[in-house]
A and B are shown apart, each in its own frame.
Chain A
Amino acid sequence: MSIWEYANPVKFMRTSGAVLPWVAAAAAVCTVAGLVWGFLTPQDYKQGSTVKIIFLHVPAALMAINIWLMMLVTSLIWLVRRHHVSALAAKAAAPVGAVMTLIALITGAIWGQPMWGTWWEWDPRLTSFLILFLFYLGYMALWGAVENPDSAADLTGVLCLVGSVFALLSRYAVNFWNQGLHQGASLSMAPGERMSAVYRYPLYLTMAGFFLLFLALLLVRTRTEIRRRRLAALLARENRA
């Protein structure tokens, strides 16, 4: 059995239809349980109750970057091997990635106001995240602007390659530009920097929940795109006849 079997839309629809209810249920349980658990955590001695925002901000930011990297992989598969399902998966993932980026930006601004004294700062990580969000918007607009689906997949694939620079920058910017407000890794393993277990475990759960939520949404949205493509092909065949 090979992973390339799932490039066959029929095989993909059959398999995704079977696993989707389980993924969706696991996503709902982990996300709701993680957010409720996080909301009920005690106040931090420095940040007060604003520490509870971490259970939204960090999983959303993590997914914002990784969804773009997933789109990069599927776009490369399209560009190299011309598997339609992988191009459609990249297209399907983009709106979810844009929402995750927006959540990270909004919760970051709301959190930043009381902690940093400002909603926004042209900090390396904040700025690269804003650019990543604009790349998501541009990527979706490009899919909508090009009529031929294969040409759209080609062009968006190249755009995805370029945008990957900002996806990686948004992850590593704080490490090599030291003039920003944003701190380094939230889940540092360094001695003395490790987050308390009170916050760490619900954070792990919300991270798992957001990942599963993305997976469930990706499967549904890819199935939607396959159905749309099938309908368009049927209509085109009728028009030629």
Chain B
Amino acid sequence: MTELGKYAGTVLAAYGASLVLLVGIVVQTVLANARARRELQEHERRG
């Protein structure tokens, strides 16, 4: 396991905040795309 020493809190805070933001934009992107596809498909099915 890697040694973080006295800056453990600093490094973990940077990784934690970045991962939250990265995962957030990925999840928001996937959900928005799924919603747009579903709404368009439903509309085209109704004719």
A interface residues, Cβ below 8 angstroms from B: 31, 35, 39-41, 43, 48-50, 52-53, 56-57, 60, 95-96, 99, 102-103, 106-107, 110-111, 113-114, 213, 217, 220-221, 223-224, 227-228, 230-231, 234-235
Contact = CB atoms under 8 A, between A and B. Distances in A.
B32 to A, nearest CB: 5
A59 to B, nearest CB: 10
A227 B6 contact: no
Contacts of A56: 14-15, 18
Interface in B11-34: 11, 13-15, 17-18, 21-22, 24-26, 28-30, 32-33
A18 B6 CA distance: 47
Interface residues of B, number: 30
B2 to A, nearest CB: 5
Interface of B: 2-8, 10-11, 13-15, 17-18, 21-22, 24-26, 28-30, 32-33, 36-37, 39-40, 43-44
Contacts, number: 93
A17 to B, nearest CB: 11
Given A48-B5, A114-B10, A217-B25, 20 more contacts: A39-B2, A49-B10, A50-B7, A57-B14, A96-B25, A99-B22, A99-B25, A102-B21, A106-B21, A107-B14, A107-B17, A213-B22, A213-B26, A220-B30, A220-B33, A223-B33, A227-B33, A227-B39, A228-B36, A234-B44
